[in-house]
Amino acid sequence: MTFENTKAFAQQLDSQDKLHNYRSEFIFPKVNNKEVVYFTGNSLGLQPKRTKAYVDEVMDDWANLAVEGHFYAEKPWWDYHERFAAPLSKIVGALPSEVTVMNTLTVNLHLLMVSFYQPTATRFKIICEEKAFPSDQYMFQSQVDFHGYAPEDAIVEIKRREGEHNIRLEDVLAKIEEVGDELALVLIGGVNYYTGQVFDMKTITAVGHKAGAKVGWDLAHAAGNIKLELHDWDVDFAAWCSYKYMNSGPGNASGVFVHEKHHNANLPRFAGWWGHNKERRFKMEPKFDAVHGADGWQISNLPVLSLAPYLASVDMFAEIGMDALIEKRNKITSYLEFILQEIDKEVDSSFEIITPSNPSERASQLSVLLHGEGRSLFDYLMENGVIVDWREPNVIRLAPVPLYCSFEDMYNFGQILKQGILK
């Protein structure tokens, strides 16, 4: 398609957009009495309007039933999490038994590493990407330290080549082969938070397994954003947050994937009573008997008030389907890329999009290096109703989330960006 940098063309694209009506399902903040152009769904998604009804239902059940809500609410609390299994499995490409919800992201990654990072004297190294999200870096450091290894010996970072912004697949595979028999675990962010690069999870998982390692993925920026086939890719484990592309609310519950091949394995885990045999849970037995499947990694009873907003969003994803989301994601991200390139031609500046240009290597994010521009441009955008993310020294991250961003938003952003540079 040949794009045009005009409001009329953007409105035409919106009129053809099958998902455009979902925009009205979300609540937009306002700046100067106008709805914002919201580009930070990769940090915190907007609130769906339907969320309140899901939360109110739990509040009403609590008020009217008190403790009996565990069993007699319309959606009983004791098995509330089971409503996620079918829709979440479709979002991440899994069997329903392979997914569950619990805790928060880094807590879950720590818990999963109890099962899947079992270092020995000769096989103890972890491969991750350079400049992984800080929380992951701290997790790796504390895990290897807990097992008695020095981080500089046990943690192997795959680096970007000099002058390049993204990590090459061949460098990931070469590093796995180089570490070889010393490799215990590969754990990488499926979508890099800074650049928006999507990694070839299928290939990396296969090569990691060939080296004899376990392979897991931090899907914080991937779940609800890209096509995932975790079961078919033979991924050992994964975890993701729900408050970015899945719009469940700040700091909300995390999703977990454990491949079915591990469900009957005698893996170490930190156990708790909610992971105990569901039919015998209230018998208060002294010996742990894990629920079959990913639910067996749960520890505590679930925070139902937190799960309610997540369920509202997951139900919306079930209505739409990932294929439709990805189709719009690709189109709107390409249109945003076009707008940036057109504005770059019109102003005496130079933008460098450091996110891969290949649609198969990116998702709903463009990270833009603003040569010659500083924090004042970010401030101008924010003051004029464009909510973006700033990363030092001069990168803005733009996430045109297909559920609620419009093509007209992309056009309007371009005009405000141009004004901010020329002011």
The pLDDT tens digits for 55-100 are 999 999 999 999 999 999 999 999 999 999 999 999 999 999 999 9
Tell me which residues of the chain have a pLDDT lower than 50: none
- The pLDDT of residue 85: 97
- The pLDDT of residue 320: 97
Per-residue 3-state assignment (H helix, E strand, C coil) for the chain? CCCCCCHHHHHHHHHHCCCHHHHHHEECCEECCEECEECECCCCCCEECCHHHHHHHHHHHHHHHHHHHHHHCCCCHHHHHHHHHHHHHHHHCCCHHHEEEECCHHHHHHHHHHHHCCCCCCCCEEEEECCCCHHHHHHHHHHHHHCCCCHHHHEEEECCCCCCCCCCHHHHHHHHHHHHHHEEEEEEECECCCCCEECCHHHHHHHHHHCCCEEEEECCCCCCCCCCCCCCCCCCEEEEECCCCCCCCCCCCEEEEECHHHCCCCCCCCCCHHHECHHHHHHCCCCCCECCCHHHHCCCCCCHHHHHHHHHHHHHHHHHCHHHHHHHHHHHHHHHHHHHHHHHHHCCCEEEECCCCCHHHECCCEEEEEECCCHHHHHHHHHCCEECEEECCCEEEEECCCCCCCHHHHHHHHHHHHHHHHC
- The pLDDT of residue 261: 97
Domain extents in the chain: 7-35+322-422, 53-320
Q: Do domains 7-35+322-422 and 53-320 have the same CATH topology?
A: no
- The pLDDT of residue 381: 96
- Highest CATH level, class, for 53-320: alpha beta
CATH placement of domain 7-35+322-422: 3.90.1150.10
